[in-house]
Structure 1
């Protein structure tokens, strides 16, 4: 089986993780999905993982507001990884925050090189299809 994408879903909401995983499973047949409730744990796994096939992009769907380690702190720590590690990842922030209500957080997260875009929750099939199309055209 040819794997098109690998996904890491990081969200403290069990329901949001479940819904996101189901959308992913139905939107493309060739993928790998890992889910994490805790951003710190996801960082540890990413730092320990050796990517054997760098031709498969890994898309991180990251909740912005989480306890323990929020999405902004995750990105700050992810940015410290070596370029060789970061090059295969694309971070997409999933948030309920709108740019009108929290412009500082949205503007700040977009300043990081590894953050590709922001999608406002809830994730819908249309948003996911658009995201996948955008990523396919960029690789």
Structure 2
């Protein structure tokens, strides 16, 4: 793939963060990949870098089930950013949840305008290609 994207991975699982980051490094031409164990730290980083002039879109790969601040809480806080900040990001839920296992949660997160889609773990080449075409 030869499209530039920046990625933020937010997942409390060290193994999932590592695997996703390595997969992205091997599969895409990327500007940067940042990984966070804690959703609050990711929000702080986004807030600190909120100049509204990102040279490439940033895709946030967000796990839903995390301690402290879960994915739902992250999205609710992210929605409070000004549009000029939100427009630089696309949130993609990367989770083990499926619509069959927890339809209420899936529906809830898809109601937020900043959430582009949900992808079931693990990330694969096909899922990534589909995501990059959509974004």
TM over 0.5: yes
| Alignment-derived partner of residue 67 in structure 2 | 67
- Aligned residue pair count: 134
**Which residue of the partner structure matches residue 113 of structure 1?**
113
Matches for 1:27-66 after TM superposition, within 5 Å: 27-51=27-51, 53-66=53-66
CA contact (8 A) 2:52 2:88 kept: no
Report the equivalent of 2:4.
4
TM superposition shift of 1:29: 2.4
Shift of 1:44: 0.7
Query: 1 CA distance for matches of 2:29 and 2:5?
Result: 10
Deviation of 1:53 (Å): 4.0
SS in 2 for 1:35: strand
Q: What is the alpha-carbon root mean square deviation over aligned residues?
A: 1.6
Q: Secondary structure at the match of 1:25?
A: helix
Q: Which ranges of structure 1 fall in alignment gaps of 5 or more residues?
A: none
Task: Give the TM-score of the pair, scaled to structure 2.
Answer: 0.93
Aligned pairs for 1:115-134 within 5 A: 115-134=115-134
6-15 or 126-135: bigger deviation: 126-135
The equivalent residue for 2:99 is 99
Deviation at 1:3, TM superposition (A): 7.8
Using the size of structure 1 for normalisation, the TM-score is 0.90
Distance 1:85 1:118 in 2: 21
Contact (CA 8 Å) 1:3, 1:56: kept in 2 or not? no
